[in-house]
Chain A
Amino acid sequence: MPTTSMSFSSLIEAIGKDLTVDELRSALFDMGMELEEVEGDDIAVEVTAERLDLLSLQGLARALRSFLGIARVPIYGAKNSDYVVNISSKLTDVRPFTVCSIVKNLNLSDERIKEIIDVQEKLHSTLARGRKKGAIGIYPLEHITLPITFTADFPQNIVFQPLGSNRQMNGLEILQEHETGKEYAHLLEGKDLFPYFVDAANNILSMPPIINSEATGRVTVDTKDIFIECSGFDKVLLNELLTNLVCMFADMGGDIYSMTLNYEGQESEVTPKIDYQEKLFSTKTLKHYIGLDLSVEELKVLLEKMMYVVKDIKTTENGEAVFSLLAPAFRRDLWHEVDIAEDVARAYGYNNLPLTFPNVSTIGSTLELSDLREEFSDVMVGLGFLETYTFGLTAKSDQLDKMNLSEDHVGFVPVANGNETQGMMRISIIPEQLKSLANNRNQPLPQKIFEGDFVVLPDLSKDVKARNEMHLSAMITDRAVTFTQIKQVLDSLLLTRGINISIKPTNHPSFIKGRAGVIIFDDIAIGIIGELNPQVLINFGLTTPVAAFELNLESIL
């Protein structure tokens, strides 16, 4: 979950009520957040993943003001304007969309500027996935000549002095030489044309998603008016970014102005879209999910705590009430009525709800296969074996190479993006247990171990092209150990189920020639038994011989 850091005293000032750290902690917890760290005046708050409006100090203060009943959420709106942004069709395959706004009459301080940069970074790293899905640009309007154009060109032709540099660079140089350029160069990989914002005086504002210009892209304490744009590939997401930002600027005292986006050859659009969303909410839904029966008055208070504006309440014949609500535009997590019911529960306090035990009467039951594993495990313990517990996700070198097996001749399920110890799913438990033996070489002999768990085998008949198979593996190591010793264990184990098996001699590269066999039950191969090949033992770093068997438990159910 995302965590945001801020100054405790600034937050308290923005909330407008003197809270102690513990009072803040408790309010945050009830809202579903956690005060993670307090160090002097610095605090870190973990917010829930769907509420990005809480990442900024302004947004958090706004929600707390409402929750604590200090002030209702303000009505956000954008003033109409003639400001336009022209968007070139050259961007279609490069960076097709942008959403923009202008904010005026800001009173910025160094602290506020830091706050703005922090929020920008948080939004970039969370919702925008490291600028992959969208990038935010904020510019001082005093250096810009309107109207602004968003277009694309060959990188050699995009020349400006990027932030943090002392010279003019072209698009390619920025990606190769500038620190930020190098960091985000991958986002423009393979593009012939690079996107950029340019003003009416032909000053380049920025080259998204990389960097702003030093001349027109640095906000200072003298800045009163700003231009904000979010560019990318997904309008829903871009609007979400912009909404969060302009509402924050509104809370800082700025006036929001809309802009008309003139897409070349397409319909134009007006942003930001910060009008309230209309939502319906019924007491029926609340009763259904939360189990709460509240009066209309109580509910109204709770809804307002959660930043809803109650527009209208209708009561139906059967006593249910339906609320017409306005929800702030930055609440992008209200997909369904249940989300509002959940908000009411938060406002009521989860810990104030009664605890009941569900009236669903059922009879418990286990799966036959797990029962067999438990049953056989107990027999193995009785035979003097220790249970091991190894991993299913493991290394190709352990499962194949060290077992004298070749990747070309054995079917297995690979893992494409694991590290070298996570290259495949185990096809056998024996190699994993050999590792256990190797790690316990300093312990007294003999060592007798077993393990019952799944292996994963390729299976094209399944929708997932693989199947789990429950195996039981057992092995003995001692200064000398024989086939007979492990065969006795296998016989004793299977006789507890009245199963008589036969052994068919086999040549298996993991075992000593002439000392391995396939375990046959009802004419079906259900496992393997033998003395491990000395080369295999050496491969695993073992210094004593090992006799082992591995059994497919599913085939004897």
Chain B
Amino acid sequence: MLTNIQETANSLSLLERKLLPHLKEQTTVSELVASSGLQEVEVGRALMWLGNRDIVSTQISEKELVVLFENGQLASKFGLPEFRILKSLTSGPKTISELESDTLPRPEIMACIGILKSKQAANIEKVNGDMQLSITPAGNILIQNNLYEPQHFFDKYTTFPLDFLALNEKEREIVFELSKRKLMVKVETQKTTNVTLQPLGKELIAANVDFSNVEEQLTDTMLKDGSWKEKTFRTYDVRSPVPRVAVSGRRHPAREANNIIRDIYLQMGFQEMSGPWVETCFWCMDSMWIPQDHPARDVQDTFFIGKEGDLPNPELVEKVKAVHETGGNTGSTGYQKPWDPNLAKQLILRTHSTATSFRYLNDLGNKDGKYFYVANVFRNEAVDTTHLAEFVQAEGFVIGDNLTLSDLMGFIKEFYARLGITKIRFKPTYNPYTEPSLEAHYYDEKKGKWYALINSGIFRPESLAPYGIKKTVIAWGMGASRVAALLNSKNNLRELVGPTVSFDWIANHKTPIPKLSEENNDSASRQPTAGVGTDEGGDY
């Protein structure tokens, strides 16, 4: 038991220790402020801590009190001014100047004239330029028979403040009337914090603990001179909350989401790609057999620089032309329309990162490989909360022998799994440069709905032939901006990326973790925007 008391004592902070000697069985905060010499806020804090340890308990009680102000105090001491005036008139009429005194100032007299007249207790007339008051028979009766009730109140109660609720109804009425008068009385609510000493507190006081050896802080001096060995350090309540510290440096939530995707690709053995934001139509469209009349080439869908770039070497251009017009040597019919090299020269902002994939395929030839790219792309479409003109795609491709649709779907399943998604299904779709093509949908358990996030396919023979590629290339891509929105639970993309994003959110956001199935929102209802596939602006 004694150890317990000692431990409690050691945990007391300086303020608590200061307050301890002043505690009694029953006391109040105001009493403690007076006796301890501490400030009210310090006493409050110490009582809160003591309360947390069951040393004291506090109860707040409220009282309605009648409080006297300046004129009220005068009335209490000398009687109500109108009563005093009336009394003095019993010895004959008096002018205001005659009535005026230190305890009965002129404004008070003027106020009283009104009261006396309303009770028909006094008359007033002008005498030699001054006002003269004289008592009426009714006034005489009031004085002689002591019938003026407001004065009874002050005669009865001499100690203020007064408990309002203890008054009878008539007295309350009088207080109410008096409270209308200037600086007279007021009814105030007064809060009192009552402090009751608890058993532990009693023991603590009884134990009469010596605090002289309890230290607040370990200091470098104590370490140097070894005095720490003799000290006891106050124990803390480590459970108490502490003020929040302002976060300064932090990565951007959307960049964190991009890096999650990048890490998944790296874990799966993919190599990172990079390519220019400004592209020729050749690499963005023609190189992969997107027909020249495809709507993605319209100004409504694509940003044009208004200048021309260079085509690659003439042999390659010739092969691409052939495969467009006649299918070349692929066994395809081709589009059976003339292919115009001038359209291929147009410079645009790339609409998908597959432009870069084909630059890589051109260099790679028939070597096995896996490549990925988390890339900015640009679409000239109406910007709103779920559509941006500039957003991020994440695409990957695998080149190898004997790769089939089953391999593509197997890879996507694995990719989804790493984003925490296991319930998926595949929908056939159309992309001009992949065949077969498919969208991979996932099921959102919370919403009870299917959403498409990945678009994919096997590159067509016509798209690969110009590069002499005989191997199979499976490819897929996803809207990384959408993944970032999902991982960060943002419906409005403008709150996620761009100059309108709040610093407070960047500093205090919950770090996105790859678990899409846990956190979801409506931005997923947007149709897929994947690196592979032109489902946006790709209507043919």
B44 to chain A, nearest CB (A): 29
In the complex, which of the residues B327, B335, B336, B501 has the most CB atoms of chain A within 10 Å of its own CB atom?
B501
- Taking residues whose C-beta sits less than 8 angstroms from the other chain, chain B's interface range is 35 or more
Chain B residues closer than 8 Å to A289, beta-carbon distance: 404-405, 435-436, 458, 472
Kindly identify which residue among A34, A48, A338, A369 contacts B274, using a CB–CB cutoff of 8 Å: A369
Q: B443-455 CB contact bits vs A (8 Å, 1 = yes)?
A: 0000000000000
Question: In terms of DSSP, what is the predominant structure of the interface of chain A?
Answer: loop
CB-CB nearest in chain B for A34:
B427
Partner of B248, one of A290, A363, A448: A448
- Cα(A339)–Cα(B312), bound, Å: 29
Nearest residue (CB) in A for B280 is: A464
- Scoring A359, A393, A444 by chain B CB atoms within 10 A of each residue's CB, the highest score goes to A393
Of residues 273 to 290 in B, which have CB atoms within 8 Å of A's CB atoms? 273-274, 276-280
Residue pair A364, B270 in contact (C-beta under 8 Å): yes
From A29, A369, A464, B278 is in contact (CB under 8 Å) with A464
**Cross-chain contact of B539 among A2, A391, A413, A416 (Cβ < 8 A):** A2
Q: Verify A336–B405 contact, CB threshold 8 A.
A: no
Q: How far apart are A79's CB and chain B's nearest CB, in angstroms?
A: 27
Q: Which of B305, B331, B368, B425 contacts A336 (CB 8 A)?
A: B331
**Residue contact A362 to B370, C-beta cutoff 8 Å:** yes
Q: Is A318 an interface residue (CB 8 A)?
A: no
Contact A389 B414 (CB under 8 A): no
CB nearest to A129 among chain B residues: B295
B349 at the interface (CB under 8 A from A): yes
Give the distance to chain A from B530, nearest Cβ to Cβ, in Å: 14
Knowing A338-B435, A366-B272, A389-B255, say if A360 contacts B333 (CB, 8 Å): no
Q: Which residues of B contact A387 (CB under 8 A)?
A: 250-252, 255, 506
List of B residues within 8 angstroms of A91 by Cβ: none
- B-side contacts of A335, CB under 8 Å: 327, 332-335, 462
Taking a contact as CB atoms under 8 Å apart, the answer to whether A464 and B276 are in contact is: yes
Q: Find out whether the CB atom of B409 lies under 8 angstroms from the CB atom of A390.
A: no
> CA–CA, A228 to B429, complex, Å?
32
A440 and B368: CB pair below 8 A? no
Complex CA gap A346/B430 in Å reads: 12
B538 within 8 A of A: yes
- Identify whether the interface residues of B are mostly helix, strand, loop, or mixed: mixed
8 Å CB contact of B271 from A350, A357, A362, A462? A362
Is the beta-carbon distance between A50 and B430 smaller than 8 angstroms? Answer: yes
Contacts of B427 in A (CB 8 A): 29, 32, 34, 350
Q: Is A77 an interface residue (CB 8 A)?
A: no
Whether A336 and B378, one on each chain, are in contact in the complex, defined by CB atoms closer than 8 angstroms, is no
Residue numbers in A under 8 Å from B280 (CB-CB): 463-464
State A377–B255 Cα separation when bound (angstroms).
10
The answer to whether residues A234 and B271 also contact, given A391-B498, A454-B277 and a CB cut-off of 8 A, is no
CB contacts (< 8 Å) of A84 on chain B: these are none
Report the Cα distance A422→B405, complex, angstroms. Answer: 40
Question: Which residues in B have their C-beta under 8 angstroms from that of A338?
Answer: 435-436, 458, 460-461
A363 near B269 with CB under 8 A, answer yes
**Whole-angstrom distance between the alpha carbons of A32 and B506 in the complex?**
40
A416–B308 alpha-carbon span in the complex (Å): 12
Interface size on A, residues (CB 8 A): 98
Residues of B with C-beta under 8 A to A467: 276
What 1/0 flags go to B435-477 for Cβ under 8 Å of A?
1111000000000000000000010111000000000101000
Q: Is there contact, CB below 8 Å, between A462 and B539? A: no
Contact A389 B254 (CB under 8 A): yes
Residue of A nearest to B265 (CB): A364
In the bound complex, how far is the Cα of B501 from the Cα of A392, in angstroms? 16
Query: Are B376 and A436 interface neighbours, CB within 8 A?
Result: no
CB distance from A384 to the nearest CB of B (A): 4
Least CB separation from B507: chain A residue: A386
Contacts of B332 in A (CB 8 A): 335-336
On chain A, the residues within 8 Å of B252 by CB distance are 386-389, 451
Check B266 for interface membership: any CB of A closer than 8 A.
Answer: yes
* Residue in A29, A443, A462 whose beta carbon sits within 8 Å of that of B276 in the complex: A462
Is A290 a contact partner of B404 (Cβ separation < 8 A)? yes
Per the 8 Å Cβ criterion, residues 443-462 of A in contact with B are: 443-444, 447-449, 451, 454, 456, 462
**Residues of chain A lying within 8 A (CB to CB) of residue B248:** 384-386, 448
**How far is the CB of B475 from the nearest CB of chain A, in Å?**
12
A342 to B431, CA, bound (A): 12
Q: Is the CB of B268 within 8 A of A364?
A: yes
In Å, the complex CA distance between A546 and B279 comes to 35
B500 at the interface (CB under 8 A from A): yes
> When chains A and B are docked, how far (Å) is the Cα of A234 from the Cα of B291?
14
Q: Which residues on the A side are within 8 Å of B337 (C-beta)? A: 234, 236
B277 x A392 contact (CB < 8 A)? yes
Which chain A positions have C-beta within 8 A of B267?
Answer: 364
**Using Cβ atoms and an 8 Å threshold, which residues of chain B touch A392?**
277, 376, 390
The 9 A-B pairs with the shortest beta carbon distances in the complex, nearest first, are A291-B404, A416-B306, A32-B428, A435-B499, A384-B248, A381-B249, A360-B400, A49-B540, A358-B407
A-B contact pairs, 23 of them (CB 8 A): A2-B539, A289-B404, A290-B405, A336-B332, A338-B460, A345-B405, A350-B409, A353-B409, A356-B404, A357-B411, A359-B400, A360-B399, A380-B249, A381-B249, A390-B497, A391-B390, A413-B278, A415-B349, A417-B380, A435-B499, A436-B503, A439-B500, A463-B310
4 new A-B contacts at CB < 8 Å, known A234-B337, A351-B426, A353-B406 = A133-B293, A356-B404, A385-B248, A468-B274
Please give the residue numbers on chain A whose beta carbons come within 8 Å of chain B beta carbons, in ascending order: 1-2, 29-32, 34, 48-51, 126-127, 129, 133, 234, 236, 288-291, 333-339, 341-342, 345-346, 350-351, 353-367, 369-370, 374, 377-378, 380-393, 413-418, 422, 425, 432-433, 435-436, 438-440, 443-444, 447-449, 451, 454, 456, 462-468
